[in-house]
Amino acid sequence: EGVTPQEYLCLKMRTLEWSERAKQVIGDALPANAKVYFVPATLRPETMYGQTCCFVGPKVKYSIFEASADRKEYFLLSSRAARNMAYQSIFPEWGVYPKMVDLLGSDLVGSLVDAPLSVHNDGVRILPMETVKPTKGTGIVTCVPSNSPDDYATVLDLVKKAEYYGIKEEWAEKEIIPIIQTPMGNLTAKAIYEKLKINSSKDPKLTEAKEIAYKTDFYQGTMIYGLFSGKPVQEAKALVAKQLLDSGRAFKYAE
Ligand code: A2H
């Protein structure tokens, strides 16, 4: 990892419905009416309109931590991220991050969560992504297939092999809406995926695809969706982040 800290925006995705397996594992570890949030870390807040699902690593370990006893708020993420957050004043008491229960990513698949700003406002599903790195961000990745080549490739794999992954096809197949216009069109990730002839979520060409997508959107992109439609991405990025922060649907996290 580099020497300069990476600053992420962490989204609060409220759990609307647990998978059967998660229900069993959680048992009575949480109080009644607990609000549990999946907490993905993102570098692209301006794309949040296009969230279609949220990824966990099926073999990655997660836990639920108490973020506010008064408000009965809980965060679901990696222990590593919770520890870092406890030293960034994200938990109420410095250095303290009370753990309620441990879960495996595969336990969580199929749960339904609210995706702030997403056009899919009746919730999106928790789905497996095998390339999630347990030691980066929170270990949770919200999925924006219009603009992230990794997300686009994973969604294609999931739809193709839904049965193998133990998911319903329609969980992975939600509509992909255009958010950013660039010289490559209005679905940057799809355009690059096709141009580089990528054929799976494990294709090594995704490293290059990611770089091209990021630069194309950031330097040549204009918003064509949402409150900041018409503004360049370079400007909209901070504006959307501020909107999410001010409304309490996100917080900053550095590592
Ligand atoms: B980004 P950096 Cl639209 N494992 O958010 C794998 N990937 C992870 C991760 C983990 N543990 N934690 C975060 N990420 C992803 C949106 C997005 C992202 C778009 C386009 C590109 C993009 C929606 N997914 O990232 O290595 C998250 O996905 C391309 C780099 O710290 C996060 O931002 O630079 C980004 O990678 C952080 O990657």
Domain presence at residue 120: yes
Buried b (16+ CB within 10 A) or exposed e, 134-165: bebbbbbbbbbbbbbbbbbbbbbbbeeebeeb
Domain presence at residue 86: yes
Distance between CA atoms of residues 209 and 249, nearest Å: 30
Which residues have any ligand 1 atom within 6 Å of their CB? 6, 41-44, 47, 132-133, 136-137, 139, 141-144, 147-148, 151, 210, 214
Domain presence at residue 209: no
What is the complex's ipTM, to 2 decimals?
0.99
Distance between CA atoms of residues 162 and 77, nearest Å: 25
**63 pLDDT higher than 90:** yes
250 in Cβ contact with 116 (< 8 Å): yes
Distance between CA atoms of residues 95 and 85, nearest Å: 8
Distance 122 CA to ligand 1 centre (A): 24
Domain region containing 117: 7-145+160-176+235-254
Closest CA to 48 of 210, 228, 232, 170: 228
The best mutation among 1, 39, 44 to test binding of ligand 1, ranked by most ligand atoms within 8 Å of the C-beta, falls on 44
pLDDT value at residue 2: 60
Distance between CA atoms of residues 114 and 156, nearest Å: 22
Confidence band (pLDDT; 50, 70, 90) for 1?
low
Domain presence at residue 28: yes
Number of structural domains found in the chain: 1
Reported as a single tens digit per residue, the pLDDT across 135-166 is 999 999 999 999 999 999 999 999 999 999 99
Distance between CA atoms of residues 246 and 233, nearest Å: 20
Q: Cβ atoms within 10 A of the Cβ of 232, count?
A: 15
Domain presence at residue 195: no
Domain presence at residue 210: no
Domain presence at residue 198: no
Give the mean pLDDT of the chain.
97
Distance between CA atoms of residues 45 and 236, nearest Å: 9
Strand, coil or helix: 253: strand
The best mutation among 52, 53, 141, 146 to test binding of ligand 1, ranked by most ligand atoms within 8 Å of the C-beta, falls on 141
Angle (CA) 33 9 5, round 5° = 130
pLDDT value at residue 149: 98
Distance between CA atoms of residues 124 and 141, nearest Å: 13
Distance between CA atoms of residues 200 and 169, nearest Å: 17
Reported as a single tens digit per residue, the pLDDT across 82-132 is 999 999 999 999 999 999 999 999 999 999 999 999 999 999 999 999 999
**171 pLDDT higher than 90:** yes
CATH number at residue 130: 3.90.740.10
Domain presence at residue 33: yes
**223 pLDDT higher than 60:** yes
Using CB atoms within 10 A of its CB, is residue 194 exposed (0-12), middle (13-18) or buried (19+)?
A: exposed
Strand, coil or helix: 179: coil
pLDDT value at residue 4: 82
Chain centroid offset of residue 15 CA? 13
